[in-house]
A and B are shown apart, each in its own frame.
Chain A
Amino acid sequence: NAGVTQTPKFQVLKTGQSMTLQCAQDMNHEYMSWYRQDPGMGLRLIHYSVGAGITDQGEVPNGYNVSRSTTEDFPLRLLSAAPSQTSVYFCASRENRGSYTFGSGTRLTVV
């Protein structure tokens, strides 16, 4: 099992550009989520999904969109990148009440 796979690992964007961070899991987990991690702020929840076709906002959703067309995939879209979105992004999945499995992260810089 690969677990949770995130791509790309690194990305540099110009302000105003859009892009999609990819996340895929092969554990058949219903629950998936996106976090961003900033120094001193910890992991903050952006969006989450409890199953295909169902998504909801987390703590810091502004500027991001998600969709969940399959159980395996949960992409995160940046609509118009801003320097404030410079961060490390983690995708995670979990069993219903279990532990999280995290991807290796995407380090995004917006210039």
Chain B
Amino acid sequence: SQKIEQNSEALNIQEGKTATLTCNYTNYSPAYLQWYRQDPGRGPVFLLLIRENEKEKRKERLKVTFDTTLKQSLFHITASQPADSATYLCALLSGGYQKVTFGTGTKLQVIP
């Protein structure tokens, strides 16, 4: 069956370090993958999109990689700040783009 896995345990890192979050998937052939940020009591907010033929995408302090061989995406936040503390969700879009499947998210805590 299709499965998306994000580390369910919270990730705690020191301010200024690089945070790396992982999204693994099985039995998908995603056309593209998205990353979202969700703060408590709010809806997810779109951050980055990467297509299957792209290896890497950057936006300011954010970087996403997409390895279709490993079936994995990595999401990096460089020079992390306490304001980056949130839950980060990955989402896969495949065949027909009509349905998107979200991972359960990883909670990031940046410690001052």
Contacts and interface: CB of A to CB of B under 8 A. Distances in A.
- Is the interface on chain A under 10, 10 to 19, 20 to 34, or 35 or more residues? 20 to 34
The 3 closest A-B pairs by CB, nearest first: A102-B43, A99-B46, A42-B104
Given A105-B42, A105-B43, 16 more contacts: A42-B89, A45-B101, A58-B99, A92-B43, A96-B97, A97-B31, A97-B32, A97-B93, A97-B97, A98-B49, A99-B34, A99-B46, A100-B46, A100-B100, A102-B45, A104-B42
Contacts, number: 51
Interface string A87-105: 0001010001111111111
Q: Which of B31, B100, B101, B105 has the most CB of A within 10 A?
A: B100
Interface residues of B, number: 24
A42 B8 CA distance: 10
